Amino acid sequence: MKLYFFITIVWISVSGFSQDNWTLIYENDANGTTLYGNLDNFISKIQNGETVRIYYNSMRPGNSDTYVEHTALVKFFTIMNGPKGKFVTAQIDPIVGQVPNFKEEEVVLKENLEWSLIASTTGKNDTMTRNVITGEIVNHEMRRWGTKWFIRKK
């Protein structure tokens, strides 16, 4: 029974989170350097209404073999043209907060907490955790990481 459950979970994960229906359009590193694609082409796809998904990972400090990976659909875009040039920010729907527990090999929900994200092609990403009961901001910080940007294949 456990094997059947495990196989079912793996199958759902692979099919549900598969990148087969998505194509990489742009990738930036933690410093905003383009690793793949063309920013103007990516911006054009956004302006033409393409559905976009982001991917990023976070390695555990001191152990690059231990990490978490995340994908999310983008809900809201901002395209800016500032003094240093164009860049894109993307906001996802807030999610229930969660904490990976590497020792127990599980991810658990944080009760009453909501996590929000704005990812950026500059590598500067804004994260915020809010208590949904009191409205209090529990944590708000800018973090640097690289992001892969995918568009849905037609």
Long-range contacts from 135-140, C-beta under 8 angstroms, 24+ separation:
138/113
Identify whether 103 is part of a domain: yes
- Answer whether residue 9 is part of any domain: no
Domain containing residue 131: 22-152
Residue 15, in any domain of the structure: no
Q: Is the per-residue pLDDT at 20 higher than 50?
A: yes
Question: What is the reported pLDDT for 15?
Answer: 47
Kindly state the tokens that stand for 27.
């990738």
Domain total of the chain? 1
Backbone angles phi, psi at 92, to 5 degrees: -100, 165
- Is 79 a domain residue? yes
User: Taking Cα atoms as reference points, which of 149, 153, 154 lies closest to residue 53?
Assistant: 149
Check pLDDT > 70 for residue 97: yes
Q: pLDDT of 66-85, one tens digit each?
A: 778 899 999 999 999 999 99
d(CA 138, CA 115): 10
| Tokens 């099919």 sit on residue | 15
Indicate if the pLDDT at residue 109 is higher than 70. yes
